[in-house]
Homo-oligomer: A and B are copies of this chain.
Amino acid sequence: MKMNHYCYEDIQEGMNCSFLVNVSQKMMDSFYEITGDSNELHRNLTYAHTKGYKSKVVYGMLTASFLSTIAGVYLPGEKSLIQKVEISFTKPVYVGDELEVFGEVLEKNDLFKFIVLKVSIKRGTEKVLRGKMQVGIIN
């Protein structure tokens, strides 16, 4: 991933970014180590099956963590500071899924120098996460 260095003035409505990511078991283990979230739905295949899921369900907040990369690497990149996040999880994500993470500039706020991004994450054509993110651009 190549870091962008956009200043507030460089950003235009409609600018967008996307990248692919594979959700691995290693990511799941790391997320568990960070959070201590020992919920069986994320960690026990048999349990997930009994609840009607085809595999271990990826932590929603792990899926959401890729929004960090949208802001911190791409839009605007270096000068980013996330201020607000509003997201819905629309489908379960499974370990091993390949996800496409997408961000697009919806609006700019000249007074406070923040941008609002529309964000979404897809598996193939299915949207698994959608929402908005407000990102400040620091000098």
* A interface residues with partner B (beta carbon < 8 Å): 1, 3, 21, 26-27, 30-31, 33-42, 51, 57, 59-62, 64-69, 72-73, 77-78, 80-89, 138
On whether the beta carbons of B39 and A62 are closer than 8 Å, the reply is no
A87 neighbours in B (Cβ, 8 Å): 84-86
A88 neighbours in B (Cβ, 8 Å): 83-84
Determine the distance from Cα of A74 to Cα of B89 in the docked complex, in whole angstroms.
20
Partner of A69, one of B37, B65, B78, B84: B37
A21 neighbours in B (Cβ, 8 Å): 36
Task: Kindly provide the distance from the CB of A51 to the nearest chain B CB, expressed in whole angstroms.
Answer: 6
On whether the beta carbons of A60 and B31 are closer than 8 Å, the reply is no
